[in-house]
């Protein structure tokens, strides 16, 4: 009888441990499941869409550019709340002349000239190059421009 009680207690303990592990996996999975991972994908002008709830950010990069990869890493590490503000379009410009031309035209529309890559356009603000000293300015631009929802690409198309 005593060994049966021990077996039951042991079985209950094992079931409890298994349930605890499964719940832990589900909680961790739920937290990471919604993480948006942004990559330097080779998009073109045809990929650009408009969402009245979000603004578009245009990220012009060079394939193999280390500063471009650092900037995309920074964008990936922004708190999740930033993802509700924007859609990111990544357009390679070293090997894609149409994307390069689009970058020059959008930067010109804002009243500037291209200074290199990465070139990040947030509303009517342009960021060239990347260093960690730019992080706060980029976050601030996302917050400010998400309210205005100015899109230089829409302006350029008109």
User: How far is it between the farthest Cα atoms of the chain?
Assistant: 87
pLDDT digits over 53-99, tens only?
A: 899 999 999 999 999 999 999 998 888 888 888 999 999 999 999 99
The more confident residue out of 35 and 44 is: 44
pLDDT band at 18 (very low <50, low <70, confident <90, very high): confident
pLDDT band at 23 (very low <50, low <70, confident <90, very high): low
Q: Are 20 and 68 contained in the same domain? A: no
pLDDT band at 34 (very low <50, low <70, confident <90, very high): very low
The more confident residue out of 71 and 10 is: 71
Q: For 128-143, what is the mean pLDDT?
A: 96
Q: For 26-52, what is the mean pLDDT?
A: 69
Q: Does residue 40 lie within any of the structural domains?
A: no
The more confident residue out of 63 and 24 is: 63
Q: Are 6 and 50 contained in the same domain? A: no
pTM of the model: 0.75
Q: Does residue 82 lie within any of the structural domains?
A: yes
C-alpha separations of 149 from 20, 32, 139 in Å: 45, 28, 15
Number of domains within the chain: 2
Q: Are 139 and 89 contained in the same domain? A: yes
Q: Are 14 and 64 contained in the same domain? A: no
Residue range of the domain that includes 52: 45-157
Instruction: Identify the CATH number of the domain in which residue 103 sits.
Output: 3.40.30.10
* pLDDT value at residue 88: 92
pLDDT band at 148 (very low <50, low <70, confident <90, very high): confident
> Is 109 exposed, middle or buried (CB count within 10 Å of its CB: 0-12, 13-18, 19+)?
middle
In sequence order, the β-bridge partners of residue 120 are: 59, 127
Q: What percent of the chain has pLDDT over 70?
A: 85
How high is the mean pLDDT of the chain? 86
Q: Are 5 and 53 contained in the same domain? A: no
Location of structure tokens 């947030």: 122
């Amino acid at each position: 009888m005593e060994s049966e009680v021990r077996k039951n207690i042991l079985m209950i303990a094992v079931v409890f441990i298994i349930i605890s592990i499964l719940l832990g996996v589900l909680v961790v999975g739920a937290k990471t499941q919604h993480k948006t991972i942004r990559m330097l994908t080779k998009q073109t002008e045809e990929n650009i869409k408009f969402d009245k709830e979000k603004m578009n950010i245009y990220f012009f990069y060079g394939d193999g550019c280390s500063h471009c990869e650092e900037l995309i890493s920074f964008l990936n590490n922004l708190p999740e709340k930033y993802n509700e503000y924007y859609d990111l379009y990544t357009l390679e410009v070293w090997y894609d002349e149409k994307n390069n031309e689009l970058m020059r035209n959008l930067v010109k529309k804002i009243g500037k000239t291209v200074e290199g890559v990465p070139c990040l356009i947030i509303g009517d603000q342009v960021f060239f190059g990347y260093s960690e000293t730019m992080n706060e300015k980029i976050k601030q631009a996302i917050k400010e421009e998400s309210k205005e929802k100015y899109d230089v690409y829409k302006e350029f198309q008109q």
